Amino acid sequence: MSTMEYDKLYVAGDWRTPAGSDRIDVRSATTEEKIGSVPEGVEADIDAAVDSARRAFDGPDSWGNWEPARRQEVLLRFADELEKRGPETASRVSQQNGMPIVVAEAFEIPFPPLLLRYYSQLVVDQADERRPGMLGGTAVIRRQPIGVVAAIVPWNVPQGITFLKIAPALAAGCTVVLKPAPETVLDAFLMAEAAVAAGLPEGVLNIVPGGRELGAYLVEHPGVDKVSFTGSTAAGRAIAETCGRLLRPVTLELGGKSAAIVLDDADLLGNIESFFASTLLNNGQICWLGTRILAPQNRYSEVVDTIAGLASNLVIGDPLERTTQIGPLVSARQRDRVESYIAKGSADGGRLAAGGGRPADRDKGWFVQPTVFADVDPNHTIAQEEIFGPVLAVIPYSDEAQAVQIANDTDYGLGGSVWTADMERGEAFARKVRTGTIGVNHYVNDPTAPFGGIKSSGMGRELGPEGLVAFQTLQTIYLPPAAAN
């Protein structure tokens, strides 16, 4: 089978020869075979990309000074070009990180064009505010693009997460240097093809793939005005330190260890598909998944059996097959990490109720069985640390007060879900959980509503109008009383 090979980088509006000669090889998570390669960016490529983004932002006819409707025309063309490549994008993502194709079709195909259309319209509709002052006069409040944005993304939902950043950034009038994760570069290069076809002006979007050192170099770069990062809490802390020193605005979407709280009236079986999507989607490789299941003592064994039954019956297989519910993990390293947590879960005294190993019928691919531990103590490592694989920990609770206490006893605060037959009760419970987002009987990130975390899950919000504000800065013009008349 031929592999996908790229020789150039998308920088300064076109395909350019890279400064270095190293390459990033991409392997299929399913076959472990090489499926493509791209040039690995080096510091000189970042310099060229930031320079170009800077010129596109600062120049006389700069992207940020264009009328929003003019930017919108370009971004709508970009959306159309992405849509044309949607099926190929989904296929590349699935091959690279093991995302089941039906999940890729639900997230990676529609989100990028949807977000470009949503944000470009939001900016067209945004007018300057003229606010009557308390001291007489009028304050004119303008929203301006914040500048050159460094966008750094992980591999788990590479297209969706990229567009949470670049759609509002580009719509606001910012220019962008994107650093995709090395594991998922092939979809980023397809996206660059869409940008070229859509005729994005020179320097508005630049893509330089590389690892963490290159990301750190980009974060520090003097030409960058804003950093938008999604990834691990450890990397987020390092980036926050740099941005603190530089007084550089930063948005951080980091790790999670969210709770799925089953109340004593819940119909888990009746909601099993939503429960699966909220706890095990994308092979457990999503930051907001509810991987700590809190189960009431009076229904404990039934809840454990239901979840163990769900996990044991999931279809594990090639993520390109439409019937597959659980594909492989992104890399051997990630599988090792997940397996070490499974070992720790057993060593700490968790009771294995489902899974715990590799599927017997797969001798290739970085597969791990969906795994459920029962009788987990809230202080066990697998109840506190993010695993980022298909591993659930079921923790018993005696009453609602204890459930709230356990749910909030975590360093993280990103997602969560409450399961109940009574929506009012569910919403009331959700209000007591300290987390950035939480669902009742499902968990779906709606594009119109802010998404993000508290505590070690990060700071700032993406999606909704709030996700646009992250790429804007305010200018106030004070007009004296006479001018207001």
Q: Which residues are catalytic?
A: 253, 287
Binding to ligand NAD in span 383-402, by CB under 6 A = 386, 388
Applying CB under 6 A, which of residues 158, 255, 290, 416 lies at the interface with ligand NAD?
255
The CA distance from 227 to 250, in Å, is 5
Applying CB under 6 A, which of residues 56, 254, 303, 440 lies at the interface with ligand NAD?
254
> What's the per-residue H, E or C state across 102-163?
HHHHHHCCCHHHHHHHHHHHHHHHCCCEEEECECECEEEEEEEECCEEEEECCCCCHHHHHH
The CA distance from 208 to 214, in Å, is 9
H or E element at residue 397: strand 391-397
Whether the CB-CB separation of 187 and 108 falls below 8 Å is answered with yes
Tokens of 276: 């699966």
Q: Would you say the C-alpha torsion 380, 385, 388, 392 has a positive or negative sign?
A: positive
Verify binding: residue 230, ligand NAD, rule CB under 6 A. yes
Cβ of residue 123: shortest distance to ligand NAD, in angstroms? 23
Nearer Cβ to ligand NAD (24/293)? 24
Verify binding: residue 415, ligand NAD, rule CB under 6 A. no
Verify binding: residue 239, ligand NAD, rule CB under 6 A. yes
Whether the CB-CB separation of 210 and 152 falls below 8 Å is answered with no
Sorted by sequence, the CB contacts under 8 Å of residue 111 that are 6+ apart come out as 159, 160, 163, 447
Nearer Cβ to ligand NAD (104/239)? 239
Applying CB under 6 A, which of residues 40, 105, 225, 253 lies at the interface with ligand NAD?
253
Cβ of residue 451: shortest distance to ligand NAD, in angstroms? 7
Neighbours of 22 (CB within 10 A): 10
Verify binding: residue 356, ligand NAD, rule CB under 6 A. no
Verify binding: residue 463, ligand NAD, rule CB under 6 A. no
Sorted by sequence, the CB contacts under 8 Å of residue 328 that are 6+ apart come out as 29, 30, 98, 283, 319, 335, 362, 365, 366, 367
* Among 22-30, 192-200, 229-237, 372-380, the segment contacting ligand NAD (CB under 6 A): 229-237
The CA distance from 312 to 306, in Å, is 10
Applying CB under 6 A, which of residues 76, 106, 140, 238 lies at the interface with ligand NAD?
238
Q: What are phi and psi of 5, to 5 degrees?
A: -120, 130
Selection from 395, 367, 366, 365 nearest residue 380 by Cα? 395
Sorted by sequence, the CB contacts under 8 Å of residue 293 that are 6+ apart come out as 259, 260, 262, 279, 303, 307, 392, 393, 394, 395
Tokens of 469: 């504000």
Cβ of residue 264: shortest distance to ligand NAD, in angstroms? 30
> x/- contact string, 286-305, with ligand NAD (CB under 6 A)?
-x------------------
Nearer Cβ to ligand NAD (152/418)? 152
Tokens of 250: 């930063």
Cβ of residue 395: shortest distance to ligand NAD, in angstroms? 20
Whether the CB-CB separation of 232 and 252 falls below 8 Å is answered with no
Nearer Cβ to ligand NAD (171/329)? 329
Nearer Cβ to ligand NAD (267/446)? 446
Neighbours of 346 (CB within 10 A): 14
Residue tagged 């109340």 (tokens) = 263
Cβ of residue 356: shortest distance to ligand NAD, in angstroms? 22
Verify binding: residue 231, ligand NAD, rule CB under 6 A. yes
Sorted by sequence, the CB contacts under 8 Å of residue 435 that are 6+ apart come out as 258, 259, 413, 414, 415, 416, 453, 454, 457
Nearer Cβ to ligand NAD (44/484)? 44
> x/- contact string, 138-167, with ligand NAD (CB under 6 A)?
--------------xxxxx----x------
Task: Name the residue whose CB lies closest to ligand NAD.
Answer: 215
* Among 120-128, 228-236, 390-398, 472-480, the segment contacting ligand NAD (CB under 6 A): 228-236
> x/- contact string, 178-217, with ligand NAD (CB under 6 A)?
-x-x-----------------------------xx--xx-
Nearer Cβ to ligand NAD (231/467)? 231
Cβ of residue 323: shortest distance to ligand NAD, in angstroms? 26
Nearer Cβ to ligand NAD (6/155)? 155
H or E element at residue 352: strand 351-354
Verify binding: residue 93, ligand NAD, rule CB under 6 A. no
Neighbours of 388 (CB within 10 A): 25
Nearer Cβ to ligand NAD (240/293)? 240
Residues at the contact surface with ligand NAD, assessed by CB under 6 A = 152-156, 161, 179, 181, 211-212, 215-216, 219, 230-232, 235, 238-239, 253-256, 287, 386, 388, 414, 453, 458
